[in-house]
Structure 1
Amino acid sequence: MAWRMPHEGDPHERTWMAFPNEGPTLGDDPAEQERFYAAWSAVANAVAGFEPVTMLVDPSKAERAQRMLDSAIDIVETPVDEFWFRDHGPTFVVDDQRPGALGAVDWIFNGWGAPEWASWEKAAQHARFTADLVGAELVSSLLVNEGGGIHVDGEGTVLVTETVQLDPRRNRFADRARVEAELHRTIGATKVVWLPRGLTRDYDEFGTNGHVDIVATIPTPGRILLHAQQNPEHPDFEVSRDLRAFFSEQTDAAGRTFEIIDLPAPESLRDHEGFVDYSYVNHLVVNGGIIACGFGEDRADAQAREILEAAYPGRRALTVDARQIFAGGGGIHCITQQQPTVVAR
C-alpha cells in the first residue's frame, strides 16, 4: 500500500465536523456559548452550500444541532467531548495503485499535548468511528499528531512545525527522522518542511503549540500562502517576517523554490485575552469555493477574499465571521475535515 494525502483543493466527497459540547473552549458564559454554537453552525451551513456535510453530534446536543443546522446536513449521533474535528478526526488518504481505495489515518490524539484542562477520550475514537461509517481502511499510527499540524501539496510535500510533532508532551522520544518516516508511511510525504514555530497566541494555555494551518498553506504546488502581520506592534510581525525568510530558502518535493504569497492579517491586534492570532490562512477549500474566516473588518475581509480567489482560480470565496471560534482556540480549518472523492476505474 502506498497512501497519499490529496491536496485540499482536489474534489471532495464531503466535509466532516463535530458539534460542540460542554468544555473549556466552549466558554462558561451562556451568551458566549450561544455565539460559539452560532458561529460553528454558520460554518457548517456555508460549507453545505458547496458540498455535503456530516456532523458528529453528542446525543445531548441533538435537538440543538437539528435546530441550528441546515436540513441538508447529515447528523450522526455519537459521544463527543472534544469537537475540533480537524485535529482529532481522521486524515483521509488514497492509494493511487488501487483505484477507489480510501484510507483514514488514525493519529494518536492527546488533546494537544495532554493539558490538564482537555478531555479527549471520546474524541480519540472518532477517527475509527468515521472510518467505519465510510468504509475506509484504517491506517493506525503511533504518532501523536493533529490534522491542523500538517498541510500538503498532494505531490509529496508536507508542512509541519518543530514545536508540534517534536513536542515532548506529544512525542517524547521522536526525532525528525522518525517523524518523517511515519509521515511517509501514512500520508506519502517525501519532503517534510519543518517550520521553526507558529503564531504567538498559539503558545497560550489553550493553544496548539504552533499548528501550521494558521500560519501557512500550499494553494497549489510550489506556492505558499503565508500569514503576514503588518503591524510592528504585534509580536507576530517578527514571526511572519522570519517565516517569510525561512520559506524563501525552502524547496518542495519536486525541488521547486516556493513562490510566497502574503496574506495580510486584519487590523485587529488584541482581544480581552491579549494579542490575537486572527489569520485568513485558516480557511477551508471546498468544491467550487473557499470558506474564509471573517473578523468584522470589511476592507480586510474583502482583500482576503480577493487574494484567496486569485490563489485558487475558479473558486468563490465566502466569508464567515470566525471571531468566536478563534476565541475558543482555532478557526474554520480547525473545525472541518475534507474527505476526498475516490473514483474506481
Structure 2
Amino acid sequence: MSWRMPAEGEPHERTWMAFPSEGYSLGDTPAAHHEARSTWAAVAHAIARFEPVTVVVDPDEMAVAREYLSPHIDVVEAPLNDAWMRDIGPTFVVSEDGRLGGVDWVFNGWGGQDWARWDRDSKIGRMVVERSGAELVESTLVNEGGGIQVDGLGTVLVTETVQLDPGRNPGLSKADVEAELARTLGATNVIWLPRGLTRDSDTFGTRGHVDIVAAIPSPGVILVHEQRDPEHPDFEVSRTVIDLLKQTTDARGQSWQIIPVPAPTVLRDDEGFVDYSYINHLVVNGGVIACSFDDPADEEAVALLSAAYPGRDVVTVDARPLFARGGGIHCITQHQPVVR
C-alpha cells in the first residue's frame, strides 16, 4: 500500500476544526472567551462558503458552540484539551486505488511542553479518522500537521527543530524521519529548513512549525514569509530560509519559483516580537481563507495570494486573536481531500 498526501489545493471533501474549550486558547475572562469563540466561528463560516465544515466540540461547550456556529456547520462531540485541529487531527492521504487514509501521528503537546495538556487531544486523530471513514494509518512519529507542507508530488517541507526535537523524537535521525514520511505521505523529496519563526520558539510556540514559514501553492512555486524590517529577528530567519530554498529543487528536480510574502509591518505586541504571517492560510474549494491583521501589508498579501491561487476567491479573517494564542488559520483547520 502506497499513500500520497495531496496538495492542499486539490479538491476537498470537507474541512475539520475544533472549538475552543476551557484552557489556554479559550482564555480566562468572558471577553477572552467571546473573542476566541467568535474568531474560530468566523473561520468556520468563511470556509463553509466553499465546502462542508465539521467542528469537534467538547461536551462542556456544546451549548455555547451552537450559539456561535451556524446550523449548517456539522458538530461532533468529543473531549478536547485545545482547539488546534491541524496538529491534533489526522493528516489525510490517498492511495493509488482511490482509498482515503488518515495518518494518526503521536501528539505530545508540541514536544511535551510543561504548559500543554494532551490526554484528550492525543485521541482526536483516531476519532476523526473513524468519523471520516478513512483507513487508519498509524505512526510512531511525534509530529503535527503544522509541521509539514507538501506539493502533492512528493516534496515535503519540515524543520529541524520540530521533527528532530528531543522532546518529540529523541534519537531519530533525518534518515529515520524521511523514511517514515515516505511511508505515510509518499515523500520522495524532504526539504529540511533549519528552524521556524522566532516567536514560535518561545514558551507557548510549537518550536518551529513550517506552516507559518513556507507554503506550496502549485508545483514548482513556493511562498515564503519575508520579514523586511532588520529590527525583527525574523529578518535573518527569512533570509536564511530563502537562501536555503534557492539551493533546493522540487520532487521533479526543478528549481523553485520563490515568492516572498511580506510580514505585517507591526513588529511587537505586549509579549515581544510577533510571528504574524500570511503564509498560514487555508486553501479550500474555490477559495483561500487568509489571515489579516488590520495592517498596511494586508492588501499586498491578498494580491500575492490571489496571484498564487488564480481562480480562487481570497477571503480574510482577522487572525490577531489566533496569533495571540499561538497560531493562525491553517493551525486550526485540517482539510480532508476527495478520493477519486
Q: TM-score, normalised by structure 2?
A: 0.99
Quick check: 1:301–1:319 contact (8 Å CA) kept in 2? no
CA distance in 2, matches of 1:184, 1:293: 31
Name structure 1 gaps, 5 residues minimum: none
Superposed CA offset, 1:20-77 (max 9, x none): 1111233223212221111111001110111000000011111111110122110111
For the pair 1:234 / 2:232, whether they are aligned, the reply is: yes
SS in 1 for 2:261: strand
CA distance in 1, matches of 2:199, 2:328: 13
Quick check: 2:143–2:168 contact (8 Å CA) kept in 1? yes
Superposed CA offset, 1:265-302 (max 9, x none): 111111110000000000000000000001012x4212
CA distance in 2, matches of 1:3, 1:50: 26
Q: Could you tell me how far 1:134 is from its partner in structure 2?
A: 1.7
Quick check: 2:25–2:83 contact (8 Å CA) kept in 1? no
Letter aligned with residue 196 of structure 2: G
**Identity, % of aligned positions:** 62
Q: Could you tell me how far 1:242 is from its partner in structure 2?
A: 1.3
- 1:284 is matched with which residue? 282
Letter aligned with residue 34 of structure 2: E
For the pair 1:12 / 2:9, whether they are aligned, the reply is: no
Superposed CA offset, 1:164-215 (max 9, x none): 0000000001100000000000000001000001100001111000000000
Name structure 2 gaps, 5 residues minimum: none
For the pair 1:308 / 2:305, whether they are aligned, the reply is: yes
- 1:166 is matched with which residue? 164
SS in 2 for 1:218: strand
Letter aligned with residue 228 of structure 1: E
CA distance in 1, matches of 2:179, 2:160: 15
SS in 2 for 1:163: helix
For the pair 1:119 / 2:117, whether they are aligned, the reply is: yes
Letter aligned with residue 2 of structure 1: S
What is the root-mean-square deviation in Å for CA atoms of aligned residues? 0.8
SS in 1 for 2:317: strand
Q: TM-score, normalised by structure 1?
A: 0.97
- Number of equivalenced pairs: 340
Letter aligned with residue 3 of structure 2: W
Map 1:153-192 onto structure 2 (within 5 A): 153-192=151-190
CA distance in 2, matches of 1:252, 1:86: 24
CA distance in 1, matches of 2:26, 2:58: 14
Map 1:75-90 onto structure 2 (within 5 A): 75-90=75-90
SS in 1 for 2:251: coil
CA distance in 1, matches of 2:82, 2:115: 11
CA distance in 1, matches of 2:110, 2:22: 18
Q: Could you tell me how far 1:104 is from its partner in structure 2?
A: 0.3
SS in 1 for 2:152: coil
Q: 2:202 aligns with which of 195, 201, 204?
A: 204
Q: Could you tell me how far 1:82 is from its partner in structure 2?
A: 2.2
Map 1:322-337 onto structure 2 (within 5 A): 322-337=319-334
